Structure 1
Amino acid sequence: MKSRILFLSGSLAAALLFNSCATNPVTGKKEVMLVSEGQELAMGQQSDPAVTAQFGLYPDQKLQNFINEKGKQMGAISHRPELAYNFRIVDSPVINAFAVPGGYVYFTRGIMAHFNNEAQFAGVLGHEIGHVTARHSAKQQTNAIIGQVGLVGAMIASPKLAQFGDQAMQGMQLLFLKFGRDDESQSDELGVQYSSKIGYDAAQMADFFQTLQREQEASGADPIPDFLSTHPNPADRYNRVHQLADQWKASNGNPTNLKINRDQYLRMIDGIVYGEDPKQGFVENNVFYHPELKFRFPVPAGWKHQNTPQQFQMADPGGKALQMLMLAPGNSLEEAAQALAKQFSLQPTDSKKTTINNFPALAFVADQVQQDQQTGQQVAGVRALTYLIQDGKTIFALIGVSAPTDFDGFAPQFTSVAQGFQRLTDSEKLNRQPERVRIKKLTLRSNLETALRRYNVPEKRLNEMAILNGMQLNDQVDAGSLIKVVEK
């Protein structure tokens, strides 16, 4: 009987795969594809609001117009010109570019700050559009379905606690898919092809990969997914992209008018925010400050943290506990408690009203009940200690979660963080300004290091600025050249 069932299941799977082939727009070959084009478009439409809510859009209309213009131009000559492409610059310091199915392409302000000419931008744009035209995300989703493996979004705590992370993460799972080498190589080829077709020198994309490699090596740690973590970078990638660019030129008559547009690009990004933007909140000396909302609270020593426009997350380095701050819905503490309990499927076991540094507050312990896969019984999956803190019409929720077995050990720390919530009055913190990329025109020929020192770049940041400029400190720069520095 078991053999017959397995045979029938295998036959069903074979029939499913046989009937689920689609032609890849780029290769023209038939591929197993369990995600239809209509589903692919729907996935993009559903993911886009979550992505923009997670990061926020960077408020610079000239940059948004630029990516729209180049993106539409490139989409029109791609293998899927019929798609309604959408392009966004999101407000994140992380150096990243990514695409989701259906033609949604995102560049962070962090990666925009690190490009040093339009051709570098165009090469990466072509690479991302290539992921869309070759249906790589749809193929990854198909592989997940076949292998019965769920997609996992970026988290800073354990998978068991992920449900208390960003609720937008469910829609963002496609963001951090790690494409295989074949997909990456194909997208590199398409990046060369597409950027060259709209008139740019694709060899510049290879140079930018080198900048990214230097940036990763300099940072040491990689706490947040970045371009290199989501885009595998084989050792020969730099040389290969240069070869692809040379081959394209040779097969197209060796054009001499391919654009780089360095100065135009640098002038366009003059003033772009660099690194973390303090107005969105920042951590300093184990304290989280939020100048716009005017509050502060402690961050447990050694805990990892991640800040987004929607929420601030802190995680025990062992992945056993997560505490996050978010805005809670409702006009009263009681309404907020009910809304959160419903949102997270919580069953409160204890609650009390209190006051925290003159703010009305409500604290409650609750379990998120799950069904045991083996016994079928209802068990507490995680336990949460939530502090709701009211500031006028705004209600903040500080939610600390862990497994029930670890809860007693972490509850005092959750409480300590909540009780440290207080009004921010320090004028220096309230008025903290972000750093911005500033473009300087050199008056004298020198090496880059000498030029940077003339603009008072401190010793400890010389290498950082060299990477930002895509140069080495001993590279010669002529009078009249433009370079980047970072200033408040």
Structure 2
Amino acid sequence: MSGAGAVESVNGTTGGTGPGDGRPSGPRGAAARGRRRPLAVAVLALSLLGGTALPAALAPPAQALGEEDDGWLPNLISPEQEAQIGAQQHDQIVAQYGGVYDDRGLGAYVAEIGSRLAAASGTGADSYTFTVLDSPIINAFALPGGYVYVTRGLMALANNEAELAGVIAHEMGHVIARHGTERMSRGMIAELGTAILGSVFDSPIAGGLAQTGAGLWLSGYSRDQEREADSLGLDYMRRAGYPPIAVGAFLGTMGQMEDLQKKLGKGGGGFALMATHPQNAERVEAAVAQAGGNTDAAWQGRLGFGRTAYLNRIDGMIYGDGPKQGYVRGNRFEHPELRIAFDVPDGYGLTNTPEAVLIKGPGNAQGVFDSDPRSNPTPAGGDPLIYIRDVWAPQQQVKGLERVEVNGQPGATGLVDLRSRSGAQTVRLVAIRANGAFYRFQFSAPYNQAGAVDPAFERIARSFRILSAAEARRIEPLRLRVVPVQAGDTSASLAAQSALDAPKTDRFRVLNGLRAGEEIAPGERVKTVL
């Protein structure tokens, strides 16, 4: 859940123009500085916030993730327009993912790897902008025009430089093959019909498509596009001097992470790379075969491929939530920059995202915590009751609307009955004015369960409080630490000493790419979290 802190660092950016032959082209600005902004409004499928689905003309292409391409279609976007799209979307992507990670050295390191791969691809470093995003989410992606992003969450999962290079090379493959604008063109043809074919880029419709946001570019490529990006990326790696077989190792680690998430019942939460880049046995085997090895051999490279330099670079990197996002620690969410906190009862889980904190309860009980971005001036004259009635849910009949006080802060609450595809829902709205902003809880449960879970919802809302300056100063992020393995150390013993969440040993093994039956050895350096 992003806070109001600005990111003032420029991170690993290259600039210039590229050739006009279908490869990335256009001027490059510096990596965007994060804007000082309040917490963003959550976008919910079941929402009272007035949100609606995108009009068909602005919606991403309907092609489902993993489907085969159904024939060639023309790319309606020129290379020059690609550069314009990327430049328009860049600030939005950076803001959505918590800003640029504030470590110039790490950004320069990633840009150096990217530049080496760019030279090997024949496009040149000046055709790309490489950015490390300050997000714990495990993801990497690219925008048209050569904007390539990796999150610090992904960098924490990689175990050597070649694995990271494989990820970057794959994203460059998508850029060079122009997959993003292929999908955009497919959507334009499917949704807008032949009327769009003669339009120019600066027309209202095409301009609107360029502004649809990150969802269009992060919604997943077809299987054929993934295969092509894999093939191109492996070729760039080989030409740049990286062992392509490292791709198989990282795909294996991705598979381990996916299995762990399923075991924990999280369905891949916090692991967006699996949503946009599907990992499967066929893809691992194909990548390893093209690299000239076998699946088992891919795992033998965990300790090589530039591991020492890579571990030195990521040692001390923030792990998990950062100060701008706030922290989920057990049953508590606390945000040192905004100086707020709240708790959930046992049996409830918290997931922090850049837009909101998601609350999952028993059964189908769930909630969202966020803030209204319109905090200057505060809407509704600062009156929480008027805010709910006239600003937050003006089109809804709010039952039992009343003023409340929450740990000294003025608030209001009320109930709304809704019907959705899953049936009747009862939604409790809570607005609290604190620190010049409205903080909001939106809880929902099936109509027949609402009475049972509403006391827990009330308890969560009433736990909201303002942190003192001293309390806020004591809240520190967790950091990735590289430690030497001593005689007698095991995965279990080092995991037990870490700040990793349970199951600690499973998380430690995935973090270090340890295959089933493989154990750490004295003298080796491993990643832990402290």
TM-score (norm 2): 0.65
- Quick one: distance in 2 between partners of 1:347 and 1:126? 49
- Quick one: distance in 2 between partners of 1:125 and 1:420? 43
Among 55, 65, 68, which residue is 2:111 paired with? 68
Contact 1:383 1:407 in 2 (8 A): no
Q: Report how far residue 418 of structure 1 moved.
A: 3.9
Structure 1 partner of 2:283: 237
Cα-to-partner distance string for 1:88-127 (whole Å, 9 max, x where unaligned): 1112222221122222211111111121111111111100
- CA spacing shift, 1:262–1:405, aligned 2, 3 Å: closer
Structure 2 partner of 1:387: 431
Write the mapping of 1:397-408 to structure 2, written as runs, cut at 5 A.
Answer: 397-398=439-440, 400=442
1:102 match: secondary structure: coil
Contact 1:98 1:107 in 2 (8 A): yes
- CA spacing shift, 1:318–1:24, aligned 2, 3 Å: farther
Among 39, 64, 76, which residue is 1:34 paired with? 76
Among 408, 428, 436, which residue is 1:358 paired with? 408
Question: Which residue identity is paired with 1:172?
Answer: A
**Consecutive unaligned residues in structure 1, runs of 5 or more:** 1-21, 150-168, 248-258, 369-381
Cα-to-partner distance string for 1:116-156 (whole Å, 9 max, x where unaligned): 1111111111001111111112222233333439xxxxxxx
Contact 2:364 2:446 in 1 (8 A): no
Count how many residue pairs are aligned between Structure 1 and Structure 2.
417
- 1:272 equivalent to 2:272? Answer no
- 1:281 equivalent to 2:326? Answer yes
Contact 2:490 2:520 in 1 (8 A): no
1:439 match: secondary structure: strand
Identify, as 1 or 2, the structure richer in helix.
1
Q: What's the RMSD between the two structures over aligned residues?
A: 4.4
Give the number of the structure whose alpha-carbon radius of gyration is greater.
Answer: 1
2:292 match: secondary structure: helix
- Quick one: distance in 2 between partners of 1:88 and 1:293? 26
Among 171, 175, 195, which residue is 1:128 paired with? 171
Cα-to-partner distance string for 1:424-468 (whole Å, 9 max, x where unaligned): 469788624333222223465x7xx63763786479533322222
Contact 1:346 1:367 in 2 (8 A): no
Contact 1:362 1:387 in 2 (8 A): yes
Q: Report how far residue 420 of structure 1 moved.
A: 3.5
- 1:185 equivalent to 2:227? Answer yes
Cα-to-partner distance string for 1:273-323 (whole Å, 9 max, x where unaligned): 223347733345644322333322344776665423453344678879753
- Quick one: distance in 1 between partners of 2:280 and 2:491? 33
Question: Which residue identity is paired with 1:142?
Answer: S
Q: Report how far residue 364 of structure 1 moved.
A: 8.3
1:433 match: secondary structure: coil
- CA spacing shift, 1:335–1:406, aligned 2, 3 Å: farther
Write the mapping of 1:255-334 to structure 2, written as runs, cut at 5 A.
Answer: 260-277=305-322, 280-284=325-329, 286-299=331-344, 305-314=350-359, 323-328=368-373, 329-332=375-378, 334=380
Structure 1 partner of 2:493: 453
1:32 match: secondary structure: coil
- CA spacing shift, 1:478–1:333, aligned 2, 3 Å: closer
Structure 2 partner of 1:208: 250
2:529 match: secondary structure: strand
Larger RCO (CA under 8 A, 6+ residues apart): 2
Contact 1:348 1:364 in 2 (8 A): no
Deviates more, 1:318-327 or 1:86-95: 318-327
Structure 2 partner of 1:422: 465
2:284 match: secondary structure: helix
- Quick one: distance in 1 between partners of 2:125 and 2:311? 32
- 1:219 equivalent to 2:261? Answer yes
- Quick one: distance in 2 between partners of 1:267 and 1:284? 27
**Consecutive unaligned residues in structure 2, runs of 5 or more:** 1-19, 25-70, 193-210, 294-303, 419-425
Q: Report how far residue 233 of structure 1 moved.
A: 1.8
1:271 match: secondary structure: coil
- 1:228 equivalent to 2:271? Answer no
- 1:90 equivalent to 2:136? Answer no
1:45 match: secondary structure: helix
Write the mapping of 1:148-187 to structure 2, written as runs, cut at 5 A.
Answer: 148=191, 171-187=213-229
Contact 1:314 1:322 in 2 (8 A): yes
1:111 match: secondary structure: helix
- Quick one: distance in 1 between partners of 2:89 and 2:183? 16
1:73 match: secondary structure: helix
Write the mapping of 1:404-483 to structure 2, written as runs, cut at 5 A.
Answer: 417-424=460-467, 431-442=474-485, 450=490, 453=493, 457=497, 461-472=504-515, 474-475=517-518, 480-483=523-526
Question: Which residue identity is paired with 1:264?
Answer: A
- Quick one: distance in 1 between partners of 2:495 and 2:172? 38
Contact 2:319 2:529 in 1 (8 A): yes
- Quick one: distance in 1 between partners of 2:519 and 2:356? 44
Contact 1:400 1:414 in 2 (8 A): no
- CA spacing shift, 1:170–1:398, aligned 2, 3 Å: farther
- CA spacing shift, 1:412–1:176, aligned 2, 3 Å: farther
Among 173, 188, 192, which residue is 1:145 paired with? 188
